[in-house]
Amino acid sequence: MVELNIQNFELSGANLDDKKKQRLEEINLKISELSNNFSQNLINAINEYELILNDKGVDGLSDNDKKSYEVEIDGVKKYKFTLQMPPYITYMTYGKDRDIRQRYYEAFVTKAPQNAQIIDELMQLRQEMAKILGFENYAKYSIAPKMAKDEKSVIEFLEKLANSAMPMAKKELEELKSFAKLDDLQSYDLSFYAQKLKKSKYNYDQELYRPYFEQNSVVDGLFKFLNMLFGIEFVKNDEKLWDKKATSYDVLVDGNVRARLYLDLESRLGKKGGAWMHNWQSHHIDENGKEHLASAFIVANFPDSVNSPSLLRHDDVVTLFHEMGHALHHMLSKVSENGVSGIAGVEWDAVEFPSQFLENFAYEPKVLKIFAKHHKSGEVLSDEMIENIVNVKNFQSALGMLRQVEFSLFDFKLHQALHTGEQIQELLDFIREKTSLLKPPSYNKFQNGFAHIFAGGYAAGYYSYKWAEVLSADTFFSVVDEGIFDTKIGKDYLEIILGKGGSKSMQDLYFKLRGEEPKVESLLRLNGIDV
């Protein structure tokens, strides 16, 4: 913990002279202001745009979707679409009118053009900040506290993913082109024809699965699975909580209470949207030698059970498993110092490892059959339906892999040197030559909306998503290959990864767990990509 605190002080400029400290403070304030402006420009652009359509224009959309976007203008029924993600994804996926899709797509990828100037300023300030702190470039500064050891490791990792996914991605695109029967398949056609191809191949409908995923059954099944995987128990208590649908559980290991878990899973009026894990208190021992147990919340917005059972989509099940992975990482730490207990002190490019690891089991037949039972008949989800879930998950996964690598390489290489103006687009075009099989139109200014790196915390760190996925996939298959339940690797994971929290680098903990470096091939296998 001392090492981490010293590193944080140094990365914040503690060793600088007063003049440089003053300049660093000015830079940080300006970066904060620019990031906020970047975000606000996007919000304004999203709010200002309206695509108004008549009945013919919404051909292809479901009746429910049409109702969602129905408006009355001058006494006439119309349909209004904005640049928010739900309506945009809905229309690009189901809207039959190709000209409208092209127009909508162009509006989406050209929004907030004023952000180009903000990007230039941000790039200059980030590079200056890195130099003041003694780093050659911002990328080196960004990975200093992360698991990746150097720039070369990140680039080689991403390029290996791209090279490995490329052959299968070419097949996926050719299949889509053949299905669409279009000589000039464009970016604004992809979602529309991909959805049709997926339906043609798998006839997958999430609604058919919901009766098998009643919320209480899923939660109880998840607890049973974790007991079979790690030997931990969840015992419900009668603590009075903020809502009658919220529940709390004592978490036991070897019969001893180690933590408390709170679940607040159903949507209700006034509740914040989305799903997340909140680390309320970390396990620690105070200055008087008193032990404090960890506690955590898992919050979601699953369908409410006011008038009917709460029936989840499989995506909801995956979300629950994901957030439980975070919660276990936080709650089962044995570390005595707050600053490195649970998820505290864990490197940014490794913090998603435990959540991704656990969510992978939501696709595993042995696990699903524990709880995936029809809430009325008790019928267990069939092998065919489970196979369909996996097939849909991996549909066009190689193309998806290339897309994420494109984002990650652009982000990282952008911060390895000072890029401004046309150099930014030139860099993106150069990366797309190696990663994009279907070139977007020249008017596409993706970078002006890349909020993760220009208004979020992922600058020179977008690769972290895939980096953590490799750790999780590698560990997941080591458990699966041992039989999943009551395995040595499962017990080791409980002690080494979950028990140690952020007290050591994940690089060291992972090597202690697996005895070898993580393998990219495991992530490819998980995504159904031929290795």
CA 167, CA 172: separation in Å to the nearest integer? 9
Token pair listed for 257: 């209470």
CA 369, CA 387: separation in Å to the nearest integer? 12
C-alpha dihedral (404, 408, 411, 412), degrees to nearest 10:
-170
CA 345, CA 360: separation in Å to the nearest integer? 24
Token pair listed for 261: 């878990």
3-state class percentages of the chain: helix first, strand second, coil last, to nearest 5: 55, 10, 30
The answer for residues whose C-beta is within 8 angstroms of residue 74's C-beta and 6 or more apart is: none
Q: Cβ atoms within 10 A of the Cβ of 484, count?
A: 18
CA 210, CA 218: separation in Å to the nearest integer? 11
CA 72, CA 74: separation in Å to the nearest integer? 7
Decide if 287 contacts 253 (C-beta within 8 A): no
- Residue among 494, 523, 514, 501 nearest 229 (CA): 494
Token pair listed for 123: 């790039």
- What is the DSSP annotation of 365-384? HHHHHHH-B-TTT-PBPPHH
Among residues 323, 347, 406, 469, the one annotated as catalytic is 323
Token pair listed for 289: 């030698």
Would residue 323 show up in a list of annotated catalytic residues for this protein? yes
Token pair listed for 465: 């998503």
Q: Is 390 helix (H, G, I), strand (E, B) or coil?
A: helix
CA 162, CA 412: separation in Å to the nearest integer? 15
Decide if 483 contacts 367 (C-beta within 8 A): no
* Angle of helix 464-481 versus helix 151-180 axis, rounded to 10: 80
CA 138, CA 399: separation in Å to the nearest integer? 29
Q: With the C-alpha atoms ordered 377, 378, 384, 387, is the resulting torsion angle positive or negative?
A: positive
The H-or-E segment that residue 317 falls in is helix 314-331
CA 92, CA 87: separation in Å to the nearest integer? 9
**So which residues are the catalytic ones?**
323
